[in-house]
Amino acid sequence: MRTRSSTALLAVALATLLITSGLAGPALAAGPAAGPPDATVQSTTAGSSLDSTTAVGSTATGTTASSPTSAAVQDARPDTPSTEDTVGYVEGYWYDDPLPVDNQSDAVVDEDDLDPVVYRAMARVERIRNLTFSEEVTVDVISRSEYRETNGDRFTNISSANRLEANVGYEALFMVDRETDAANATQTVYGGSVGGSYHPETDQIVIVSENPDTPELDEVTLGHELVHALQDQRYNLSRFHGTTQDEETAMSGLIEGDASRVEREYKATCGREWDCLVPRNDGSGQLPDINWGIYFSVYQPYSDGPDYVNYLRTQGNDWEAVNAAYDDPPRTTSAVIHPGSGREPANVSVPDRSSEDWRQLRTDGEVATDTIGEAGMVAMFAADAVESDRDAVIEAADLFESAENYNYNHSYTNGWAGDKLVAYTNDEADSASKPAAAAGHAGYVWRTQWESGTDTQQFVNGYLRLLENHGADAVDGRQDTYVIEDGGYSGAYYLNRTGETLTIVRAPAVDDLSNVEAGAAPEGEDTLEITDRSDTVSGFGPGAAVGAIATALLGTGYRAVADRHDQD
């Protein structure tokens, strides 16, 4: 059995939006924290931090980047600066040069003024990142409607088998129900929240503006995307391909963490040391109509990535340690959520034990299988935390630490060691006209492995709560077997725990479970239960969460930090 980075079970709906290094993720609050006045790092994610006295983006004389073509930021500017060798100087512009656009009341940039703005922004990114650009970068500013129009076809050329595997995968995480096409749900997430994109194949940046008549350039978003261009020039982003969804997202933790860390300081310096172009706030303060489960699953690199980068900087010579990490990027989202843990995924196998009427779903000649990972599991438990009439296992109070930092470190999932999800199909599923309906006839086996028996039980606690929240009832006389009678996740579920392994089998009906996985749903009494019901957390619920997030959106005009594409 071989996994495929281009059509991984959960990645398939995103396949046309995958950059070569991982998923692109929108930022809910649409912007980085401004940071304290001295631009020191304030870490809020458990497991990683920089000391509060450590300055971000040190620019002291003598600090050099690892690239031989980069030079130290100098207090005394050289008489003959060059784009390739002088940090903070690009094509005749220093990072702090004034420009005519600085006096505008909006962020509309005419074509004649765009190049100087871009060059100065490149110089500012160099100043923070202490690394020089080797080539120019093309930048275009378009409206959101134009972005939707030009990028909508990315979701049209997806095969029926790929659409089915996407629906099965997201349904397994209780994110996409029988009424929803997973590819369409993903398209909505990206079409409504991407604020900028970098295209490695053309070395082009696109900035998306909420103002349809006179598109405005958000300089902070531009700074983020310029970091991706800089990464591509120095490290070749096309090298970064994971074999699973979890590995793709993990690599993105380094790449997006690097860009987001620079973006946060960029924004903090705006108005304090630099004049910056800031779009007018046309946001309504209303939450976008998107699938929050999918959103949470792709946002993790933007939330935890900056702290992961901060951790790296404490382990070596500041940014040089981050540069070195591109030779050995993280391989699991657990490694990004828990910096320093060095977690490598366990080898989890799911042999085919289905009956003759069932078979493992194959797309492009390969078995449809994927690794969800710790971040994906957190997204599963938190999917109903916003705008849902259903309780969430991880409530909003435990998810949102700040406008841009979400908490992906939870007892239900932090003992993750590995997992594998395999989709199964039959004639009924194959003949269904729509992928959402086909998923109802399909099944899956999801095997998870944990670091200890206690960690296994914690996940059992969370998953049983998830089934409860979706109206599942225990099946009399069948061991650890549950049925959801109605709704978008109806079907039969069997849980089998063996030591530090928990296997979940899903099928349309109880009698189908043993056909998907031989021996599933045996006769007998239940062996699994929720062992701790005292850990439910009181706090602000979905309504308050909506208010808090809407406030953040009002303050930022709701944009995404990045989306980087590469068409294979």
pLDDT (tens digit per residue) in 443-497: 999 999 999 999 999 999 999 999 999 999 999 999 999 999 999 999 999 999 9
Nearest to 59 by CA among 75, 38, 37: 75
pLDDT value for 57: 34
User: What total number of domains does the chain contain?
Assistant: 1
pLDDT value for 345: 87
pLDDT value for 7: 35
Report pLDDT digits (tens) over 130-166: 999 999 999 999 888 888 777 666 666 677 888 888 8
Report pLDDT digits (tens) over 434-457: 888 889 999 999 999 999 999 999
What's the mean pLDDT in 31-49? Answer: 27
Q: What is the largest CA-CA distance in the chain?
A: 84
Q: How confident is the model at residue 45 (pLDDT cuts 50, 70, 90)?
A: very low
Report pLDDT digits (tens) over 370-419: 999 999 999 999 999 988 889 999 999 999 987 778 999 999 999 999 99
Residue 527 burial (CB < 10 Å; 0-12/13-18/19+)? exposed
| Residue at 565 is within a domain | no
Q: Which domain holds residue 114?
A: 81-342
Q: Is the dihedral of CA 158, 150, 246, 439 positive or negative?
A: negative
Per DSSP, the three-state class of 516 is helix
**Both tokens of residue 1?**
């059995």
Between the CA atoms of 279, 17, 236 and 277, what dihedral angle is there, to the nearest 10 degrees? 0
Residue 252 φ/ψ region, left for φ over 0, alpha for ψ in the -120 to 50 degree band, beta for the rest: alpha
Residue 317 burial (CB < 10 Å; 0-12/13-18/19+)? middle
Pairing of strands 481-484, 369-370: unpaired
Whether residue 565 is predicted with pLDDT greater than 60 in this model: the reply is no
Angle at 332 between CA 329 and CA 333, to 5 degrees: 105
pLDDT value for 157: 67
Between the CA atoms of 11, 15, 21 and 24, what dihedral angle is there, to the nearest 10 degrees? -80
> Helix 373-382 crosses helix 292-315 at what angle (to 10 degrees)?
140
| Residue at 37 is within a domain | no
CA–CA gap between residue 365 and residue 54 (Å, rounded): 51
How far is C-alpha 441 from the chain's CA centre?
A: 29
Per DSSP, the three-state class of 501 is strand
Residue 456 burial (CB < 10 Å; 0-12/13-18/19+)? buried
| Residue at 122 is within a domain | yes
| Residue at 520 is within a domain | no
> Helix 453-469 crosses helix 373-382 at what angle (to 10 degrees)?
30
